[in-house]
Amino acid sequence: MKKVAIYARKSVEVKDSISIETQVNMCRNYFADEECEFEEFKDDGYSGGNTNRPAFKLLHKKIELNMIDTLICYKLDRLSRRVVDIADFFDLLDKKDIAFICVKDKYDTSTPMGRAMMYFASVFAQLERETIAERVRDSMLQLAKKGCWTGGPAPRGYELVKHGGKTYLKLIDRELILNLYNWYLELGSLYQVDMRAKGKYNMLKGRDTVRRFLRSPLYVQSSSEINDYLMKNGWKVFGNTNGCGYLTYGVSVKEPIAIVSKHEAVITPLLWLKVQEKLDEVRESIFKRKSKVYWLSGVLRCPYCKKPYVIVNSARNHYYACRSRVNRFHEHNKKCKNNKYVNSIKIESVIEKYILSFRDKVDFEHIYKSNSDNIYNSGIEALNKKIKKNSKMIDNLVSKVALLSNSGAEILLKKIDELSKENKQLEDKVRNEQLNVLEIESKKFDKSFIYENILNFSKTDNPEDKRNYVKNIFKYIDYDPINEKIVCKFL
Ligand SMILES: [Zn+2]
């Protein structure tokens, strides 16, 4: 039988919008001549301005899992009021080959006209995305080129001054900026720069803050060398170099833009580049140390304190040791009882043998079944019971209202209203729980993916690859060096 999903939404703000039940009935009537299995997805009191709605999310998940053949709703704007959201949703429907019908808008993607509409919607959405991005970028560029500060607190060493309705940066602490850059070259450690800055200025907090400060093009006098460095490192650079500093955008979203601005910059290109070089060196060596040999780091866990193992180097050997045993700064100031330092070669070969034993598919299936916790007590049944009970009470109260005087009825109506509200909340809870259950269900599809990774693991000698495969197999591996025990948990 055809599985038809009915989506209905009513928002709080629009008083005259058509009721959820009417929407559902109109959808059901559309299929009056066909025998279908209906499932209703109802968002009562949710705005169409975003897709953060429990029933909609549940519907989305069910579509992803191919649990629906056809989707129907009363009007297109019930799905979303944003063209962008609708287009994304259409993409999904298209990919999953799901027919979509809109009762009021006479819209049916099983017809050519409906498909054309679908296409136009996605074209317009793309256009909207691009023009918004362009508009934002253009106005930002114009402001930045004029030297205007477009938001946020003043960067260290500067203050904000207002002039003609616009905000500009004014240099107030040349010494602080110069010191931090020079100290880093002198000390070669972000940690020590941070300590010294704390002592002298009582301001910067943490190595990351110091790093961001040293990395920022805001402090360097713009030049063609700096432009080159920035572009090589993925920045988009705008404006003609003039010796003033750059304003930056989009650093946090990894689409960094630097615009030559008009504020006075302290650091010469030579000094700034030297500092970048040093920072790059450190980054590279950390990267090498982390990823080169130790394919178990990040997955191997101490069974006593559940903290990961870390690599400890001695002159000749490398060891895995419990982090809360080794770490000087760990949380509770209590050392883990796991005091073993396990030779990295030994433990890696032990775990490797362990993983290779899963190559036998029957063995794997067996251990996977006993290992993954699919038992999820959702409590949906209890929630549904409560909803039913409330509905009964509402019905009872409604039948009594007619028999009462005005003042008596008012009390009952209030009670009815409360119960209805509670039921609405409970229904939302049920949707969320259903979503959780589906989330867990969909994880089961990963079994073959895990097995595939086990096979791939057995075929490679490259530690880098091994590490990636292991990450696709296990959530963690608990290794107890005291009792020589391994317990693993699949993803
Ligand atoms: Zn431990």
Any idea which of 87-91, 225-229, 260-264 has the lowest mean pLDDT? 87-91
Tracing tokens 């039921």 back to the chain, one arrives at: 423
Any idea which of 11-15, 43-47, 276-280, 347-351 has the lowest mean pLDDT? 11-15
Residue spans per domain, the chain: 2-130, 158-290, 300-373+447-490, 380-432
Ligand 1 centroid to 475 CA: how many Å? 17
Ligand 1 centroid to 485 CA: how many Å? 14
CA pair distance 491, 418, nearest whole angstrom: 43
In DSSP terms, 99 is beta-bridged to 70
Ligand 1 centroid to 292 CA: how many Å? 24
Ligand 1 centroid to 297 CA: how many Å? 14
Q: What is the pLDDT of residue 291?
A: 44
Q: What is the pLDDT of residue 125?
A: 67
Those residues whose C-beta lies under 8 Å from the C-beta of residue 488, and which sit 6 or more positions away, are 354, 371, 474, 476, 477, 478
Ligand 1 centroid to 306 CA: how many Å? 6
Ligand 1 centroid to 319 CA: how many Å? 14
CA pair distance 448, 365, nearest whole angstrom: 10
The string of pLDDT tens digits covering residues 363-403 is 888 888 776 554 455 678 888 888 999 989 888 888 887 77
Indicate whether 139 pLDDT > 80.
no
Ligand 1 centroid to 359 CA: how many Å? 30
Asked if 147 contacts 106 with a C-beta cutoff of 8 angstroms, the reply is: no
Q: What is the pLDDT of residue 460?
A: 87
Indicate whether 290 pLDDT > 80.
no
Ligand 1 centroid to 352 CA: how many Å? 22
The string of pLDDT tens digits covering residues 393-439 is 888 888 887 777 777 778 888 888 888 889 888 888 888 888 877 77
Q: What is the pLDDT of residue 198?
A: 86
Q: Percentage of residues in the chain with pLDDT exceeding 90?
A: 24
CATH number of 2-130: 3.40.50.1390
Sequence-ordered strand ranges (E) for 157-243: 158-163, 166-171, 236-238
CA angle, corner 66, sides to 62 and 68, nearest 5? 70
DSSP 218-242: GGBPP-HHHHHHHHHTT-EEES---
- What SS3 class is residue 415? helix
Ligand 1 centroid to 332 CA: how many Å? 12
pLDDT winner (highest mean) among 105-114, 139-148, 322-331: 139-148
Q: How confident is the model at residue 339 (pLDDT cuts 50, 70, 90)?
A: confident
CA pair distance 356, 430, nearest whole angstrom: 42
Ligand 1 centroid to 324 CA: how many Å? 6
Ligand 1 centroid to 486 CA: how many Å? 14
Indicate whether 114 pLDDT > 60.
yes
Measured from the Cβ of residue 343, the count of other Cβ atoms closer than 10 Å reads: 13
Q: How confident is the model at residue 88 (pLDDT cuts 50, 70, 90)?
A: confident
Kindly compute the dihedral angle of the four CA atoms of residues 380, 385, 388, 394, in this order, to the nearest 10 degrees.
-110
The mean pLDDT value for 439-464 works out to 80
The mean pLDDT value for 320-349 works out to 77
Any idea which of 240-244, 250-254, 318-322 has the lowest mean pLDDT? 250-254
Ligand 1 centroid to 476 CA: how many Å? 14
Q: What is the pLDDT of residue 15?
A: 57
Average pLDDT for the chain: 83
Among 467, 449, 448, smallest CA distance to 457 is for: 467
Q: What is the pLDDT of residue 180?
A: 94
Element (H, E) at 480: strand 474-480
Q: How confident is the model at residue 215 (pLDDT cuts 50, 70, 90)?
A: very high
Q: How confident is the model at residue 8 (pLDDT cuts 50, 70, 90)?
A: very high
pLDDT winner (highest mean) among 80-89, 314-323, 340-349, 435-444: 340-349
CATH classification (class only), 158-290: alpha beta
Ligand 1 centroid to 311 CA: how many Å? 13
Any idea which of 93-102, 272-281, 376-385 has the lowest mean pLDDT? 376-385
Q: How confident is the model at residue 122 (pLDDT cuts 50, 70, 90)?
A: low
Ligand 1 centroid to 337 CA: how many Å? 6
Return the exposure string of 86-115: e unless at least 16 CB atoms fall within 10 Å of the residue's CB, then b: bbebbeebeeeebbbbbbeeebbbeeeebe
CA pair distance 442, 61, nearest whole angstrom: 9
Of residues 12 and 389, more confidently modeled:
389
The string of pLDDT tens digits covering residues 162-195 is 888 888 999 999 999 999 999 999 998 888 898 8
Ligand 1 centroid to 195 CA: how many Å? 30
